[in-house]
Structure 1
């Protein structure tokens, strides 16, 4: 080996030794969490375009003012109810509690809840058990409103949901300007032109939802006067044909008697916007699950007020629950003022869409990520919950701190270790969903107990 080659290897070796020394020297002063909390991505969780736009809006979003009449109603309904340190402003749910009180006292009437959420309530997780708790306590049967198609259809145990692949589905998460207004689940569906679109529902075997009660199809307006559907319940010679007059902004058609299974086939249905099918027995409590994976809550601002008013005239909602936050954690900042302002506008918009309903905000739950070798609560959780608490108060809505109910900082680590949550340290499993539903329901029930003391 030449002298020149030897010198080259010696210099290379010394460079490597020096580099290793510098690394270990710097390691002593480096932060424990090597990766910044202000990252631009979020572990594979999808964020809708409205959230991305709001985060990049340097001017800051201003909240939409609540109409004076609705503001007065909200203030008049304010009752001071202290339930626990895990919730605030449950006195703003007094209209909902009053409807529940009348139902409990007389055994007559009905109460309806719309539960909006993201992947935390996907597949009817959490919501199905809240539904069962209310129906077991106050009566009511049926799974509620179900869309025509759903990304979580195969994961849902409360109703078997199948459909043909030729439906055109437009979601508020991916389309800002749909062909027709979104329905209450944030989607609108169109049958294939000249196709054979169909959807089939089969009731599960769970308590209170073992049948498809009083099935009713919801669809929108169209100049198409030739559309019809064929409805079969699985029994021999049970098929019935219904024409679909579509002259109103919102149209409904009763699909016959309560059944275990129901298949709807569409003929000449192109251009008609379909919204979904409702299943309930008309008494007691009914809870609809409107979850879309990746949703921040901001797309609810895209809902058409007139259509929602028409839907509300039929379904008559008493409580709107918003459980969001998973998809806005940790993006570029720990300052969630932009989200707070945008969500005030969303809540005020929902009040105009559903003017008789009270509104409840359920915060993001605990979430952890790895810091060196240890899983710790994401630093973004606390400021996001603070923003959620603030916009709930400013919009006259009730608030439940889900992370606190779970056990506070580090709770999700314990939930994973105890078999209640997945190892993404974000989402609960079926066992954990039942536990969360019990915690949320119990907090609401404590508020109801305190409300009854004022009677």
Structure 2
């Protein structure tokens, strides 16, 4: 059954509101057995060794200086903040985009549930593809946890999902998750996945011309069939141990592609539906993640996966899932140091890519009969900003953009509302407001580097 994009958005928003409603119930009054996902605080306190600082040639990146960074070293459209003394900005990303006429330049957008359904990523992709070319929805999981609003992503068969975050029972035993930090394996002997276009959203996302499958080694003989617009285009056979990266090029842009698998399943890291050149933006939503799961991925595997994807820009949007659990400023500081290590892992693998950290939004909970911002939202924002600037990365302050403390309540009260009644997640209108502001800031920063 084919669902409309509006139904998809409604389901996403409804699910987030239910989670928020449950969170508002005092724990003592919740039904027995009803638990919310929790964050692993132990990881924040571990590995507090000296950070590996990755400075750019004319940026300031020592630990002592990072502690004194101003809260607003802004460039771009007034919303992108770079480390003090950094005049390079997104020079590396701009340099990568100079080659977009002949190859695909990727943007990896990691984030928590605020980006589910392609929120924020869609506006970034729309701006970049309109300016630099490109098409398609980018890299997606085999079986969507939350579908994109602008692409009808279907899967059949019994797919099992593994993730480097969340419940320990969802871990992959070998810690191999691919570049998305999320992998799938189908049970049985067959499965399929499919992208279909929708008449919704940015036009360029609706078609693709190159399909790339990121798979682990085959554990036995397998067959893969690829269909464009219901017509069989490719059949490939693989033996045990064959390398799993496959590319299929269509003769022209297509609005529908289907992949059928037969045989024992390899680990499936994702499928990218892109153009032959231009920009691809990959929305990697990690519901419940605090942004510290990247170091759970096998280090050599994650490094090679990042190099294989070869993005020009990596966006890391986290913090919101950690905010409700902090009890002290010391915990926030440890979280910031742990997050800086995640940035360092990515920078070590991708020295020619830029990194942008996006901080949390304002978040509110009920105190008596009133909604108040969580106690440590601004401290988490500051910790992530410091982590970003320490590592020579840029920062985008969603909390400040909204208006700071108490702004979530104002966004809920807008007409139409910009945030849901859970006082945590944006509505589609609110997400678009933030996404367009971020896209405008990126566009102005890139214009600064135009030849």
Give the TM-score of the pair, scaled to structure 1.
Answer: 0.79
Q: Which has the higher strand share?
A: 2
Question: 1:201 and 1:449, CA in 2 relative to 1: closer, same or farther beyond 3 A?
Answer: closer
Does residue 53 of structure 1 match 2:42? yes
- Count of residues paired in the alignment: 394
Does residue 120 of structure 1 match 2:114? yes
Using the alignment, how far apart are the partners of 2:344 and 2:274 within structure 1? 28
Give the structure 1 partner of residue 322 of structure 2: 328
Question: 1:260 and 1:244, CA in 2 relative to 1: closer, same or farther beyond 3 A?
Answer: farther
- CA positional deviation for 1:245: 5.1
Task: Give per-residue Cα distances to partners, 1:159-210, cap 9 Å, x unaligned.
Answer: 21121241222111234453461012211222223x3222222123341012
Task: Give per-residue Cα distances to partners, 1:60-111, cap 9 Å, x unaligned.
Answer: 54156438xxx3xx321649864476442174432113333x359xx55543
Question: 1:141 and 1:255, CA in 2 relative to 1: closer, same or farther beyond 3 A?
Answer: closer
Q: How does 1:150-229 map to 2 (within 5 A)?
A: 150-153=144-147, 156-173=148-165, 174=167, 175-179=170-174, 181-193=176-188, 195-205=189-199, 206=201, 207-224=203-220, 226-229=221-224
Using the alignment, how far apart are the partners of 1:354 and 1:327 within structure 2? 26
> What RMSD, in angstroms, separates the aligned Cα atoms of the two structures?
2.8
Give the structure 2 partner of residue 76 of structure 1: 57
Q: Secondary structure at the match of 2:261?
A: strand
Could you tell me whether the CA contact under 8 Å between 2:209 and 2:249 is conserved in 1? no
Task: Give per-residue Cα distances to partners, 1:100-152, cap 9 Å, x unaligned.
Answer: 3x359xx5554321000000001111111211111112221111111111211
Using the alignment, how far apart are the partners of 2:327 and 2:136 within structure 1? 43
Give the structure 2 partner of residue 345 of structure 1: 341
Runs of 5+ consecutive residues of structure 2 not aligned to the other structure: 1-25, 28-33, 61-72
Q: How does 1:157-306 map to 2 (within 5 A)?
A: 157-173=149-165, 174=167, 175-179=170-174, 181-193=176-188, 195-205=189-199, 206=201, 207-224=203-220, 226-235=221-230, 238=232, 240-244=234-238, 247=241, 250-254=244-248, 256-257=250-251, 258-270=253-265, 272-306=266-300
Structure with higher Rg: it is: 1
Using the alignment, how far apart are the partners of 2:36 and 2:118 within structure 1? 19
Runs of 5+ consecutive residues of structure 1 not aligned to the other structure: 1-34, 37-42
Give the structure 2 partner of residue 22 of structure 1: none
- CA positional deviation for 1:355: 3.1
Does residue 384 of structure 1 match 2:380? yes
- CA positional deviation for 1:267: 1.1
